[in-house]
């Protein structure tokens, strides 16, 4: 294992001149047409990161629009019920967009404004990205176009209604599996054809390296808050801390962990939970925990579900937001360096976790973070009482109410 | 020794016409038919581009996506591309074939094995949609060592400085993407504008054979005939789709379309 993480430098900046992490993950495998727009975006973003007025504006919207910090709460009932480690949740979904996607949408819209672009486009799986971009774009006076797989459009209709309410154009994607992977492809195609007027937003830490960076830069707000909250609560970073996060593309997990990557893994362990799909099928959306091969998808080299020929493989998950065949190069890097560990939870485990958490506690995680709760629930009883298990509750369940009602027979917000 | 691609362009120049390049997808609608198609259209086409279909073609519009999906559904495997080329070259010994596709397919096949099989089956050139310069430097060098043309792409967004560097690293042929679009888009730029850009690139190095692709149909091809070569792809994929819908033989349909295209640029 020759890959190494450097200390004191954000992981998003630890790439080489080709945009690759560890010389192995990420990069810019894009059609020639996109080289210039990507270069322009790289230049603009590196300038803005040093621009005090830009940071001030970002923080203004984080504080006054998202409402920072989002709460860190102790799950007393769940802790008592499980009888092991202490369970805590950072309820990131407590924001107007009800998901962590709001951070990157704000940053992207601020960038789009500075780039003089009037249009933004994006992909969405569960609809959280689409909803947030629609909401933020409206606030900033930008026109949003949201690409969404037809299958997701049906199963996450609640979010589609919200997108439309905010005035966004929702474009159903009918190619391929009609899920997130196809939505990302279609959004990229749209950008290829309209890159002079449109700023593309990618909904996670995936895609060409600059999009990985902007997404990770934005969600890092979560761990900046968490670090302060933990110190306030415990007087220091607890000695045995485990940070659990669901991983689809991996933007919320990166944001939840970024401030803690430099800590020793025995002190702060990072556990990513991928979507294992239904226990009735072999299909899943968990490339890291199933040791999928390296492949190139949407401009980045990363572990990817595919066949021997390199055709992108079919995925399956009840949670549209995790239903992606590849994963962020950042998480590939964290996996190969051994800094983070990855596991998966099945649809059924996630549903059961939702059921238990929403019954015992006053929070209602969507199916995506319910995967992380599932793993927390399974490991907590075996851990000591001084272990702090902190889960990123990055999305609210309202969007899943139809699915939950169908599967469990009831839904309580 | 001059490459087949170079000789073909020289030949077309002598005849005072652009080279006609056709793009169809390997195994579309199936392996046998796709071979029959290129065997038939090669009567008029100067260079055959054969796509190896990918499930997630981010640079392609609806027509090529449909063809790709059809080929994959009908069991396309990477080795089929080489078998098709191999058989085709038995009929057309000197007609260049260019394989075109996405990098993940080459990466999974293994760059070296891919090039070895290209060489064995008689492939003259490679276009890799999502392996731009400078990411393609190593692979392009490997191609050159095997005397296979790695075809660099240029787009309307490519800056002049970058163009110079790409042209410098290019082999016999360079591909200019006519407009900001995925494949199969309607030509939204005037032919005059496209040819202006075309001339700018030619001025960098007039010896490079420069072809124009994207948005080229029966309607637009004539207006661009002053180029070294013209690529038609989506129109052919659409013709296959339509003939399947009408239960007609795609081979004869395509033969006619390519014949017409050729006549427009003579």
What would the pLDDT profile of A145-176 be if each residue is shown by its tens digit? 999 999 999 989 999 999 999 999 999 999 88
Active site residue B49: yes
Contacts of B134 in chain A (CB under 8 A): 18
What would the pLDDT profile of A201-247 be if each residue is shown by its tens digit? 999 999 999 999 999 999 999 999 999 999 999 999 999 999 999 99
Contacts of B130 in chain A (CB under 8 A): 29-31, 296, 299
Best mutation target among B51, B102, B104, B140 (most A Cβ atoms within 10 Å) is: B104
| Beta carbon pairs, A and B, within 8 Å | 118
Contact yes or no for B140/B178 (Cβ under 8 A): no
Closest-approach residue (CA) in chain A for B66 = A175
Best mutation target among B58, B102, B201 (most A Cβ atoms within 10 Å) is: B58
What's the CA gap between B255 and B248, in Å, rounded?
13
Q: How confident is the model at residue A177 (pLDDT cuts 50, 70, 90)?
A: confident
Per-residue 3-state assignment (H helix, E strand, C coil) for chain A:
CCCCCCCCCCHHHCECCCCEECCCEECCCCCHHHHHHHHHHHHHHHHHCCCHHHHHHHHHHHHHHHCCCCCEEECHHHHHHHCCCEEEEECCCCCCCCECHHHHHHHHHHHHHHCCCCEEEEEECCCHHHHHHHHHHHHHCCEEEEEEEHHHHHHCHHHHHHHHHCCCEEEEECCCCCCHHHHHHHHHHHHHHHCCCEEEECCCCCCCHHHHHHHHHHHCHHHHHHHHHHHHHHCCCCCCEEEEEECCCCHHHHHHHHHHCCCCCCCEEEEEEEECCCCCCCCCECCCCCCCCEEEECCEEEEECECCCCCECCCCCCCHHHCCCECCHHHHHHHHCCCEEEEEECHHHHHHHHHHHHHHCCCCECHHHHHHHHHHHHHHHHCCCCCEEEEECCEEHHHHHHHHHHHHCCCCC
Q: What is the pLDDT of residue B85?
A: 98
Q: What is the pLDDT of residue A314?
A: 93
Token pair listed for A365? 């995680």
Model confidence at B187: pLDDT above 60: yes
- Alpha carbon A93 to chain centroid, angstroms: 12
Name the burial class of residue B226, with classes exposed (0-12), middle (13-18) and buried (19+) by CB atoms within 10 angstroms of its CB. Answer: middle
Q: How confident is the model at residue A2 (pLDDT cuts 50, 70, 90)?
A: confident
Are residues B185 and A193, on separate chains, in Cβ contact within 8 Å?
Answer: yes
For chain B, the domains span: 4-261
Q: Tell me the average pLDDT across A304-324.
A: 95
What's the CA gap between A195 and A35, in Å, rounded?
10
Model confidence at A413: pLDDT above 80: no
Closest-approach residue (CA) in chain A for B53 = A311
What would the pLDDT profile of A330-368 be if each residue is shown by its tens digit? 999 999 999 999 999 999 999 999 999 999 999 999 999
Using a cut of 0.80, tell me whether the model's pTM lies above it. Answer: yes
Q: Tell me the backbone φ, ψ of residue B240, rounded to 5 degrees.
A: -65, -50
Q: Tell me the average pLDDT across A251-273.
A: 98
Q: Across the interface, which of A33, A192, A311 has its CB nearest the CB of B54? A: A311
Q: Which domains does chain A have, with CATH numbers?
A: 74-97+237-408 (3.40.50.1100)
What's the CA gap between B85 and B65, in Å, rounded?
21
Q: Which of residues 168-197 of A touch B (CB under 8 A)?
A: 175-176, 181-182, 185, 188-189, 192-196
Are residues B103 and A28, on separate chains, in Cβ contact within 8 Å?
Answer: no
Active site residue B10: no
What would the pLDDT profile of A73-128 be if each residue is shown by its tens digit? 999 999 999 999 999 999 999 999 999 999 999 999 999 999 999 999 999 999 99
The catalytic position among B46, B60, B228, B255 is: B60
Name the burial class of residue A237, with classes exposed (0-12), middle (13-18) and buried (19+) by CB atoms within 10 angstroms of its CB. Answer: middle
Q: How confident is the model at residue B117 (pLDDT cuts 50, 70, 90)?
A: very high
Model confidence at A1: pLDDT above 70: no
Query: How many other C-beta atoms can be found within 10 angstroms of the C-beta atom of residue B172?
Result: 21
The CATH number of B4-261 is 3.20.20.70
| b/e sequence A147-160, b meaning 16+ C-beta within 10 Å | bbbbbbbebbeebb
Q: Tell me the average pLDDT across A272-290.
A: 97
Distances (CA, A) of A79 to A89, A237, A387, B98, B115: 11, 19, 11, 63, 59
A198 touches chain B (CB under 8 A): no
């Amino acid at each position: 294992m020759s890959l190494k993480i450097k200390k004191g430098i954000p992981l998003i900046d630890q790439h080489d001149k080709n945009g690759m992490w560890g010389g192995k993950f990420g990069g810019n495998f894009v059609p020639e047409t996109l080289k210039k727009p990507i270069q322009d975006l790289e230049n603009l973003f590196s300038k803005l990161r040093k621009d005090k007025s830009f940071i001030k504006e970002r923080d203004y919207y984080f504080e006054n629009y998202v409402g920072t910090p989002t709460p860190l709460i102790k799950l007393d009932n769940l802790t008592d019920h499980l009888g092991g480690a202490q369970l805590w949740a950072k309820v990131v979904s407590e924001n107007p967009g009800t998901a962590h996607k709001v951070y990157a949408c704000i940053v992207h819209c601020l960038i789009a404004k500075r780039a003089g672009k009037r249009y933004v486009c994006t992909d969405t799986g569960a609809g959280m990205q689409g909803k947030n971009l629609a909401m933020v774009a409206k606030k900033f006076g930008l026109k949003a176009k949201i690409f969404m797989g037809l299958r997701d459009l049906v199963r996450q209709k609640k979010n589609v209604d919200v997108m439309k309410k905010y005035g966004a154009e929702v474009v159903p994607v009918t190619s391929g599996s009609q899920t997130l992977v196809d939505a990302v492809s279609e959004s990229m195609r749209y950008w290829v054809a309209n890159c002079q007027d449109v700023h593309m937003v990618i909904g996670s830490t995936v895609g060409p390296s600059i999009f990985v960076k902007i997404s990770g830069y934005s969600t890092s707000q979560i761990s900046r808050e968490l670090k302060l909250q933990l110190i306030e609560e415990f007087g220091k970073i607890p000695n045995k801390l485990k940070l659990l996060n669901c991983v689809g593309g991996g933007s919320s997990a990166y944001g939840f962990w970024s401030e803690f990557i430099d800590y020793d893994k025995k002190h702060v362990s990072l556990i990513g939970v991928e979507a294992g799909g239904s226990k009735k099928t072999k299909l899943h959306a968990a490339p890291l925990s199933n040791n999928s091969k390296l492949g190139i998808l949407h401009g980045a080299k990363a572990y990817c579900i595919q066949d021997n020929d390199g055709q992108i493989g079919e995925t399956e998950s009840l949670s549209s937001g995790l239903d992606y065949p590849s994963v962020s190069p950042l998480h590939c890097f964290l996996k190969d360096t051994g800094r983070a560990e990855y596991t998966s939870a099945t649809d059924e485990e996630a549903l059961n976790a939702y059921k238990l958490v929403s019954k015992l506690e006053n929070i209602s995680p969507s199916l995506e973070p319910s995967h992380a709760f599932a793993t927390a629930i399974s490991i907590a009883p075996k851990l000591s009482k001084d272990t702090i298990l902190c889960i990123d509750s990055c999305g609210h369940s309202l969007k899943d109410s139809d699915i939950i009602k169908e599967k469990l027979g009831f839904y309580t917000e | 020794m001059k490459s087949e691609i170079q000789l073909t362009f020289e030949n077309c120049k002598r005849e005072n016409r652009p080279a006609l390049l056709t793009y169809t997808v390997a195994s579309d609608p199936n392996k046998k038919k796709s071979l029959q198609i290129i065997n038939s259209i090669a009567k008029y086409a100067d260079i055959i581009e054969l796509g190896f279909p990918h499930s997630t073609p981010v640079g392609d519009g609806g027509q090529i996506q449909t063809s790709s999906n059809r080929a994959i559904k009908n069991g396309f495997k990477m080795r089929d591309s080489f078998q098709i080329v191999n058989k085709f070259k038995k009929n057309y010994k000197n007609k260049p074939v260019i394989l075109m596709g996405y990098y993940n397919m080459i990466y999974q096949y293994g760059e070296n094995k891919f090039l070895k099989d290209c060489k064995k089956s008689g492939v003259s050139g490679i276009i890799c949609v999502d392996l731009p310069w400078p990411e393609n430097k190593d692979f392009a060098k490997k191609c050159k060592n095997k005397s296979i043309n790695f075809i660099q792409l240029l787009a309307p967004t490519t800056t002049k400085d970058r163009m110079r560097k790409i042209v410098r690293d290019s082999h016999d042929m360079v591909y200019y993407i006519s407009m900001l679009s995925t494949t199969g888009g309607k030509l939204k730029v005037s032919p005059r504008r496209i040819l202006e850009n075309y001339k700018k690139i030619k001025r960098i190095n007039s010896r490079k054979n420069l072809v124009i692709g994207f948005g080229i149909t029966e309607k637009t091809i004539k207006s661009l005939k002053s180029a070294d070569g013209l690529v038609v792809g989506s129109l052919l994929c659409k013709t296959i789709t339509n003939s399947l819908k009408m239960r007609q033989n795609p081979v004869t349909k395509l033969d006619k379309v390519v014949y017409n295209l050729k006549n427009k640029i003579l």
